[in-house]
Amino acid sequence: MNYSRITDSVDISLLQHTHIVVVGAGGSKQLILNLARTGIGALTVLDIDKVDATNIVRQGYDQADIGKYKVEALRDKIKRINPNTAYTGITKDFLSMTVKELDAVFKDADMFLFLTDAFKAQSYGNILALKYLKPALWAGWYAKSRTAEVFFQIPQFTPACFRCAVSSRYHIQEKETISVSSECNTIFHSALLDSYIGFLILGILHKGASDQTKESAAFFKGLLNDNGHLDWNFFQLKVHPDGGNPLFDKLFDSMGKSAHNFTSCWQRIEPELIPKYDYDCPDCKGVLLKLINSNSNE
Ligand SMILES: [Zn+2]
């Protein structure tokens, strides 16, 4: 592989020593291939589905992939793109894995991506990200695919967990099953969101990376560095004038409804802890916030 054209952006050696676990190989198919293209050393992908005809239109699989497990179709493509990327595809549902099986997949990885449209899987991802204390990212589209969200947590840098970020969804889930639909979602939706996710993954991986070669990889070393702790960890992306999102309306209303399309809004999500909220996050119990505080006291 010849990475000479991207060394101003990324630290290739760092990426070659990085192992990313991805849960969900649907809309994220191209993202996964592009991670291999960018030099990620090891990728483990979990998905229980086989490729069907609808996945060619929306997820970028080929006709020749129909009937294969998605993780198997990816194996062939990754080998053709970057034979140096160590690839593992898993068709077992991670919700039913034993502790030993989970350890084998997640314990030594450097980052987790939860890119499914199943709330159960997304929320279990939070338990694992907190258990193994690894950087993790969640992303998905809202109903009608007009707005998307991305949340990430980086131990020692960001204060809240995924559950803190979307606690209202957890409350709804207690009463009814949330089914996040990918209706209206085209390949262009996936490609756009995948690119944003790609930027963030590289920013997260380079955060805290060694500074010995300051000039190299300047783009991604600088992406999430703000001379202190991150002041944002959640973003929403709007791709339709009728995004139906109060945050965008509030921020951009004076510009007129259609003047703020294809924009993103960033927020800082705080941990949901008593007494600030009437709800103490049962997943993180403020552990990420404690890590930041102990880090800054050193
Ligand atoms: Zn939490």
**Digit-coded pLDDT (tens) for 16-67:** 999 999 999 999 999 999 999 999 999 999 999 999 999 999 999 999 999 9
Query: CA-CA distance, 169 to 147, in Å (whole number)?
Result: 16
* Burial class of residue 296 in the structure, from the number of CB atoms within 10 Å of its CB (0-12 exposed, 13-18 middle, 19+ buried): exposed
Amino acid 256: pLDDT: 64
Q: How far is the CA of 132 from the centre of ligand 1 (A)?
A: 15
Counted residue by residue, the chain has a size of 298
Q: Between these two residues, 154 and 228, which has the higher pLDDT value?
A: 154
Amino acid 68: pLDDT: 98
Amino acid 257: pLDDT: 59
Q: How far is the CA of 286 from the centre of ligand 1 (A)?
A: 6
- In a domain, residue 214? The reply is yes
Q: How far is the CA of 271 from the centre of ligand 1 (A)?
A: 5
Determine how many CB atoms are found less than 10 A away from the CB of residue 10: 22
Q: How far is the CA of 142 from the centre of ligand 1 (A)?
A: 21
pLDDT tens digits, residue range 93-147?
999 999 999 999 999 999 999 999 899 999 999 999 999 999 999 999 988 888 9
Q: Residue 115 phi/psi, 5° resolution?
A: -125, 50
Q: How far is the CA of 103 from the centre of ligand 1 (A)?
A: 22
Query: CA-CA distance, 277 to 290, in Å (whole number)?
Result: 17
CB 187 within 8 A of CB 123: no
- In a domain, residue 7? The reply is no
Q: In the 8-state DSSP scheme, what is residue 9?
A: T
Q: How far is the CA of 260 from the centre of ligand 1 (A)?
A: 31
Q: Which residues contact 168 (CB under 8 A, 6 or more apart)?
A: none
- In a domain, residue 2? The reply is no
Residue 240 three-state SS: coil
Q: How far is the CA of 109 from the centre of ligand 1 (A)?
A: 21
Q: Is the pLDDT of residue 244 over 70?
A: no
Q: How far is the CA of 115 from the centre of ligand 1 (A)?
A: 19
Q: Residue 165 phi/psi, 5° resolution?
A: -70, -35
- In a domain, residue 52? The reply is yes
CB 33 within 8 A of CB 81: yes
Nearest to 246 by CA among 265, 233, 271: 265
- In a domain, residue 4? The reply is no
Query: CA-CA distance, 51 to 55, in Å (whole number)?
Result: 6
Measured between its terminal Cα atoms, the distance across the chain in Å is: 41
Q: Is the pLDDT of residue 214 over 70?
A: no
Q: How far is the CA of 71 from the centre of ligand 1 (A)?
A: 31
What is the pLDDT confidence band of residue 253, given thresholds at 50, 70 and 90?
Answer: low
Q: Mean pLDDT across the chain, nearest whole number?
A: 89
Query: CA-CA distance, 14 to 259, in Å (whole number)?
Result: 40
Determine how many CB atoms are found less than 10 A away from the CB of residue 240: 14
Amino acid 263: pLDDT: 82
Q: How far is the CA of 276 from the centre of ligand 1 (A)?
A: 13
We report the CATH number of the domain holding residue 253 as 3.40.50.720
Amino acid 297: pLDDT: 67
Domain encompassing residue 254? 12-297
Q: How far is the CA of 110 from the centre of ligand 1 (A)?
A: 20
Amino acid 255: pLDDT: 66
Q: How far is the CA of 211 from the centre of ligand 1 (A)?
A: 31
How many structural domains compose the chain? 1
Amino acid 76: pLDDT: 94
* 285, amino acid identity: K
- In a domain, residue 109? The reply is yes
- In a domain, residue 1? The reply is no
CB 113 within 8 A of CB 128: no
- In a domain, residue 44? The reply is yes
Residue 238 three-state SS: strand
Which residue matches tokens 């000039």?
215
Q: How far is the CA of 82 from the centre of ligand 1 (A)?
A: 37
